[in-house]
Structure 1
Amino acid sequence: MDKPVILTIDDDPAVLQAIARDLRKQYGGRFRIMRADSGTSALDATQKLKLRGDTVALFLADQRMPNMSGVEFLEQASPIFPTAKRALLTAYADTDAAISAINDANLDYYLLKPWDPPEEKLYPVLDDLIADWKASFKPEFKGVKVISDRWSPDSHALRDFLSRNQIPYRWLDIESDPEAQQLISLSGEKVSQADHPCLPLVIQADGSKLTSPSVTELAQALGQTTEAAKPFYDLVIVGGGPAGLAAAVYGASEGLRTVMIEREAPGGQAGTSSRIENYLGFPVGLSGSDLARRAVTQAKRFGVEILTPQAGQSLRTENNYHFLTLSDGSEISSHALILALGVSWRRLNMPGIEQFTGAGVYYGAAQTEAAACTNEEVYVVGGANSAGQAAMYFSKFAKTVRILVRGESLTKSMSQYLIDQIDGTDNIEVLPFHSVVEAQGSEKLERILVKDSQTDEMKTFETNSLFIFIGATPSTDWLGDQVYRDQRGFICTGPDVDTSLGWPLERDRFLLETNVPGIFAVGDVRHNSIKRVASGVGEGSICVQFVHRHLANL
C-alpha cells in the first residue's frame, strides 16, 4: 500500500524546507512527506490525492499566508479528508486565531514557531496526533472507481466487465453516496440531480478520469490487451470459457504459439457462476471467477496471449491458413483454429424486458449486482443449475429470493445438491408454473407481471431486480456458411458433420474437427455437447492433441 501523506504548507521557502526536513527525518519511513508553498497549491494537491485514492494523515499549515490563511486552507481541506489530523504553525502573535480555529475549523493542535529542538517541541505533539489518526485509520481504496446511478445500463456493462475480469473496483451511487458527488466535483465535472451527462464517470487509480467510456475504451485505459502482438500463430482460440482456457493451457504448454480471444471476460458463462460445487478436486466448491482466475494465471505462465474484450468478426480459409478478422478490423492467421465460443443467455421476448435490460433486468450478472439488492425482493427466472447457484448467492443479500419456474419443479433440470440447498434456505421461495409476461416501470424496473399457468391467474410483484437464466444460444452467425452448424446454430464436429459436405483430406476427420480441416469446436458451442464445466475442460484439453496431429500432416 502507498504511504499515507503528511502535507505541510508554508509560503516562506526557508521555513517550508526546514519543516519538511524535520518531518522527513522522523516520519519519512512511514509517511510520504509533501509540501506546498501556498494554500491554493496545497488545496489542488489535496484534491488530486483524493482522486488517486491516496490518504492524508496530517495537515500542518502555516497560519499567516497571503490569499489563503492556514485556517482557511484547513476549513476547505478537511471535508476532502475528514479523518486527517489538522495542526497549525503560528507565531506568538497569532495564538488567538489558532485558539479560535480549534472551535471553528476543528483544529487538533497548534504549534509555535520556532519549533527547535523538534525532539522536544514538534515530534511529541505530532506523534500523539498520528497515533490518534492511526487508531481509526481505514485505508482508502486504491483502484478503479465507477460513479453512476444504479439503473444505468452503461454503468452495469462497465461494472460487469470489471467484475468478470477481476479488476478491483469500487462503485459509488450518485444518488446515495456523498463521496460520489464529492469526487465528481473534485474531477471538475458538473452534474445536476436531474441530468447526469458525464455518467458513468470512471476514475482510475492514478486519478485520471474517463467520461462515459465504452467497455473497450475502459479496457484499453486499464492496459488490457486488445490487439494481437503477432500476425500469425500456431493456434488461435476464439472464446475464453473453461474449454477455451483448457485448450490455451495445453496448447501453450506443449510449445504452440497460442492466442486466445474473448469478447467479454475469461471464464465465459461459467465465470459468472457464484458457486460451482460439482467440479472434481474442489470438495467445498469454488466460484466461477476463482476458476477463471486460476486458469488465466496458468495460461499466462505458459505464454498464452489473451485478447479481451475482443471478438471474431469473420473467417476465411486459404490453402492451409485460417484468417480471422477481429471486431476492431485487424486480422490474424493460423494453421489451427479452435472455436470455443460458448453460449449467450437466451433473451426473454416480452413487453418491457428490453427497455429495462441493465436497469433492473439482468442476464446472469449475479455477482455484479447482488450487493445492490441488499434487503430487497429479488426474482430469478430459470430452473437449471445457473439459476439455483444465483438464487443461493442472492439469498445472502436479499430479503427474499423467488425462483420462477415454468415447470412443476426444479428436479428436471437442476442438480439435487442445489435443490437440497434451496429447500434449506429460509428466504428462497420456488414458484412452479410461473412465467414472467411483462416488465413494468418508468426509468427502471418497478414491477413484473407473472402468469400462473395452472390457474391462468395474473399476478403483479413489486421488484427492482429480475435476473434471467433461461438457457443459452450460440453466437455463431458471424461464421457464415463456411463452418457447418445445426439448425440452432451449434457447430457440428466429427461424425455429426453432414457427410454430403465431403472431406478434402486423406485422413479421417478428427472427433472435434468441423467440416473445415484445421478448424475445431469444443465446449458448449459444439452440437450435442455436455453442458458442464468439466466436460468443457476435457474437450479443450484433448482437442490440442488433434491440433498436433493436424499440424504434423501439413
Structure 2
Amino acid sequence: MATTSGTADTSMPDSSTAAGAVGLARGVELHPRHDQAFPTLTPPEIERMRRFGEVVRYKDGDMLFETGKPGPGMFVILSGHVAITQRDGLGHVTPVVEQGAGQFMAEIGQLSGRVALVDGQAEGDVETLLIPPERLRALLVAEADLGERIMRALILRRVSLIQGGAGGPVLIGPPNAPDVIRLQGFLTRNGYPHHLLDPEFDKDAADLIARYTPTPRDLPLVVVPDGTVLRNPSVSDLARTMGMIGHIPKGKLYDVAVVGSGPAGLSTAVYAASEGLSVAVCDSRAFGGQAGASARIENYLGFPTGISGMALTARAYNQAQKFGADIMIPITVQSLDCGRDDGAFALALDDGEELRARSIVVASGARYRRPDIAQLSDFEGRGVWYWASPIEARLCKEQEIVLVGAGNSAGQAAVFLAAHAARVHMVIRGGGLGASMSRYLIERIEATPNIELVFNTEVVGLEGQPESGLSGVRIRSRLSGGESAMEIRNLFLFVGADPATGWLGGCGVTLDRGGFVTTGVTADGETASALETSVPGVFAVGDVRSGSVKRVGGAIGEGAQVVAALHGFLGDTAKPAL
C-alpha cells in the first residue's frame, strides 16, 4: 500500500514522407506485424487505385526519392525493383530492403508531403503508379477497405522508423545533458525518428566533436541527413532545417485556422476537415498538449484497457492529416488581427509569415503553472520537469523523486514514474485527493507501494547549481510551518494551469480574471453561441475556455461541437479556399 505522511501503440504521426519508410531496418521481414506493414497489393486493387495517380517510368539508377527532399507521393510498383537504402548525415549508407511489383512505398508523413527519410533507387527499368499526397488522401477516403489497409501500413512503417532510430537527425552529446533531453523530447513528442550518439563511447561521434571543437554550450551537435551540422539548435531551427514545417500556400485563405493541437484542436481539425472545410492548425511545441503527458488514460470512452495520451492524440493527428488538415509544428502564433477590410482574420507567425482564415478556433490550452520558487527557471531541464515521458523516467531510475500536484495528470505521472524510481514522494498542498482526482487513480496510487503521499505540504526552495543540476528541495508543512530538506535530483511539477492567451491581446476577445477566454456572450452583452467569443467568427474550445471541464473527453467533445458553429458562421455555401 502507498504510505501517507502528514506533512503505445501504433499511432505515431508525421513528419517525413515517404516512400522511404518502407522497411526499416535490416530485416523488415522480422517486423512483428510484417504482413500489415508491408502488404502486397493484388492486380484488382491496383486497378482501383489507377484513377488516383499516373504511370511514371524510371531507368536503371534513377532516384525515385531522396533523403531530406520532399517526395512526390506514394509509389505503387507495377514492374521492376526499387532498392531502399538509409543514409545519415555522417555518410553511412545501409541497405534496407528491396521492393518489387505489387508493393507500395510511403509512410505516414506522405499524407502531408514531408521530406523522405530514406533513398529509393531504380534497379533496372521500373514502372510505377505515382499517387500525389492530395490524391492519396482522396484514395483513403473513397476506397474504405483498401484505404484502411494502406493507412495501417503507413502508421506501422513510421512506428518502425521510430523504434529503429532510422532516418532523421543524429544527436551527438551526453545522454543526460539538458539540451540533449530538450531536443529528444521535441522529436519524440512529434513522432520523428532520430538517434543519439554519445561521444564518450562512439568513435564517429568523437571524431565529429574533434573536427568541430564545440564548446560545452554548442552541444549537442545535430547532424541532419544532408550533412548539415547544427550547434545546439532551437527546436524551430532544427525543424526548419529538416523540413518538418509545411509551407503556407501564398495567398491561401483557409475556412478555419486552429491555434493549438491538443485534444480540442485536433478534434476540431478532424471534424472540420472531414466535413469539407479547409483547415490549418498551428502549435508552438508538439501535438497532444498537456494530454500528451498522460502516461495512461483509463477512463476515456472506448479504451477499457487504457491508452497513453501520446497514443490517443497521435491517432487524432494522423486522422486530421488523412482528411487534409494542414498541421504546422512548431509555429508560434504571435498575434491575431481581427480588423481586416476583407473580413478575414490574420495570424502573425514567428517566422514572419501570415496565415489568413475566415474563422478562428482558439485551442491554445493551458500550461502547467510555475510556482513562485526562487531559481526555478535555472533548474528547468536540469532536474525540474513539467512532463513525464520515458526520457525523464530514464533519468529517475532507482532514485527518489518529488512530484507536486493532485490532479489526474499528476496521478498518472506518479504511477508511471513509480515503475522506474525507487520512491515517489507525491507532495499535495491540500489534505486529500478526492476533490481533484478520479477515484480509479486514487486507488491505483494507494495500491502502489513506492508512492508516498505527503499532504498539506508545498515545495518552497531548490538546492544545487544550475550547471550541475538539482541536488535537493526544501518542503514546508502548511499546518505547522516547519521546513525540511530532501536530497532529490528530479522534481516534477503538475500544478494548476495558466491559459496560453497572451497572443490574443488587443484583438477584442474578452478574457476572464484568470486570463481564460469567455464564450457565449458578445461584446455588447448579448447571447452568442456557446463556444463563440466576444468577436464574431472567433471561437474557443478546451482548457483555454473559461468554464470548460478541463478533461480530455470534454475537450474532444467541444472540438466536435464547434464545427456546427463554424458552419453556422461561414454559411451553408462556404466559399472554397483560395
Question: Fold match, TM over 0.5?
Answer: yes
Structure 2 residue corresponding to 1:426, chosen from 449, 463, 466: 449
Does the Cα contact within 8 Å between 2:406 and 2:436 map onto a contact in 1? yes
What does residue 304 of structure 1 align with? 325
What does residue 465 of structure 1 align with? 490
Offset from partner CA, 1:304-348 (integer Å, 9 cap, x none) = 000010121111122531111112121121111111111111001
Percent identity reads 40
- Aligned counterparts of 2:470 and 2:393: Cα–Cα separation in 1: 16
Q: 1:228 to 1:407 in 2, by over 3 A?
A: same
Q: Which runs of 5+ in 2 are unaligned?
A: 1-22, 28-80, 97-162
Does the Cα contact within 8 Å between 1:383 and 1:413 map onto a contact in 2? yes
Structure 1 residue corresponding to 2:241, chosen from 215, 221, 225: 221
Structure 1 position 280, deviation (Å): 0.4
* In the alignment, structure 1 residue 537 sits paired with structure 2 residue 556: yes
Structure 1 residue corresponding to 2:315, chosen from 294, 304, 314: 294
Does the Cα contact within 8 Å between 1:54 and 1:140 map onto a contact in 2? no
Does the Cα contact within 8 Å between 1:54 and 1:142 map onto a contact in 2? no
Offset from partner CA, 1:132-161 (integer Å, 9 cap, x none) = xxxxxx988554332334564433331221
Structure 1 residue corresponding to 2:282, chosen from 245, 248, 261: 261
Offset from partner CA, 1:416-452 (integer Å, 9 cap, x none) = 1111111111221111122111111022101111112
What does residue 90 of structure 2 align with? 51
What does residue 148 of structure 1 align with? 173
- How large is the RMSD of aligned CA atoms in angstroms? 2.9
Equivalent AA in structure 2 for residue 414 of structure 1: M
- Aligned counterparts of 2:417 and 2:383: Cα–Cα separation in 1: 14
Give 3-state SS (helix, strand or coil) of 2:463's partner: strand
* In the alignment, structure 1 residue 185 sits paired with structure 2 residue 207: yes
TM-score by length of 2: 0.68
- Aligned counterparts of 1:393 and 1:166: Cα–Cα separation in 2: 20
Equivalent AA in structure 2 for residue 277 of structure 1: E
Give 1:328-407 correspondences, 5 Å limit: 328-407=351-430
Structure 1 residue corresponding to 2:516, chosen from 466, 485, 490: 490
Structure 1 position 202, deviation (Å): 1.9
What does residue 284 of structure 1 align with? 305
Does the Cα contact within 8 Å between 1:272 and 1:364 map onto a contact in 2? yes
Structure 1 position 173, deviation (Å): 5.2
- Aligned counterparts of 2:95 and 2:262: Cα–Cα separation in 1: 43
Q: 1:169 to 1:373 in 2, by over 3 A?
A: farther
Does the Cα contact within 8 Å between 1:490 and 1:526 map onto a contact in 2? yes
Structure 1 position 225, deviation (Å): 1.8
Q: 1:218 to 1:378 in 2, by over 3 A?
A: same
Offset from partner CA, 1:140-196 (integer Å, 9 cap, x none) = 85543323345644333312211211113334556xx512x641424654558xx52
Q: 1:55 to 1:331 in 2, by over 3 A?
A: closer
Structure 1 position 500, deviation (Å): 6.0
Does the Cα contact within 8 Å between 1:143 and 1:168 map onto a contact in 2? yes
Offset from partner CA, 1:52-76 (integer Å, 9 cap, x none) = 665699xxxxxxxxxxxxxxxxxxx
Structure 1 position 243, deviation (Å): 0.6
Structure 1 position 467, deviation (Å): 0.8
Q: 1:4 to 1:261 in 2, by over 3 A?
A: closer
Does the Cα contact within 8 Å between 1:52 and 1:204 map onto a contact in 2? no
What does residue 259 of structure 2 align with? 238
Does the Cα contact within 8 Å between 1:191 and 1:197 map onto a contact in 2? no
What does residue 196 of structure 1 align with? 216
Give 3-state SS (helix, strand or coil) of 1:501's partner: coil
Equivalent AA in structure 2 for residue 285 of structure 1: G
Q: 1:322 to 1:213 in 2, by over 3 A?
A: same
What does residue 528 of structure 2 align with? 509
Give 1:5-154 correspondences, 5 Å limit: 51=90, 142-149=167-174, 152-154=177-179
Offset from partner CA, 1:355-392 (integer Å, 9 cap, x none) = 11111111124343112221111211111111111111
Equivalent AA in structure 1 for residue 401 of structure 2: V
Q: Which runs of 5+ in 1 are unaligned?
A: 6-28, 34-47, 58-137
Count of aligned pairs between the two proteins: 425
TM-score by length of 1: 0.71
Offset from partner CA, 1:372-416 (integer Å, 9 cap, x none) = 221111211111111111111111211111111111122221111
Give 3-state SS (helix, strand or coil) of 1:346's partner: coil
Q: 1:310 to 1:376 in 2, by over 3 A?
A: same
| Greater Cα radius of gyration, structure 1 or 2 | 1
- Aligned counterparts of 2:327 and 2:88: Cα–Cα separation in 1: 33
Deviates further, 201-210 or 434-443: 201-210
Equivalent AA in structure 2 for residue 439 of structure 1: L
- Aligned counterparts of 2:291 and 2:84: Cα–Cα separation in 1: 43
* In the alignment, structure 1 residue 450 sits paired with structure 2 residue 471: no
- Aligned counterparts of 2:267 and 2:165: Cα–Cα separation in 1: 37
- Aligned counterparts of 1:149 and 1:321: Cα–Cα separation in 2: 48
Q: 1:258 to 1:450 in 2, by over 3 A?
A: same
